[in-house]
Amino acid sequence: MTLADVAIFPFVRQFAHVDRDWFFASDYKALQAWLNTWLDSNHFKAIMKKYPKWTPEQEPHYFPGENSQD
């Protein structure tokens, strides 16, 4: 992991997700492998936890350590 990896990861991730079929069918095999390594990393999974979609009838979900909306 380098500073450059961390700096460009969000941009490459967004670029790839605009048209996933095109990106993963492209000839950028090394870039695809690099991105998949990051997406599968424990670092990424720890900060990008998925939450269920909120609906108005549900109670609000506060992030860890938050007790109110303030």
With contact defined as beta carbons under 8 Å apart, do 16 and 23 qualify?
A: yes
pLDDT, tens digit, for every residue of 36-51? 999 999 989 888 887 7
Every domain of the chain and the residues it spans:
3-47
Tens digits of per-residue pLDDT, 8-38?
999 999 999 999 999 999 999 999 999 999 9
Our measurement of the distance from residue 19's CA atom to the centroid of its chain's CA atoms, rounded to an integer in Å, reads 15
Helix ranges, 1-70 (H): 3-18, 20-25, 29-39, 42-47
On the CB side of 26, CA atoms within 13 Å amount to 13
Q: Which pTM value belongs to this model?
A: 0.67
**Integer distance in angstroms from the first to the last C-alpha of the chain?**
36
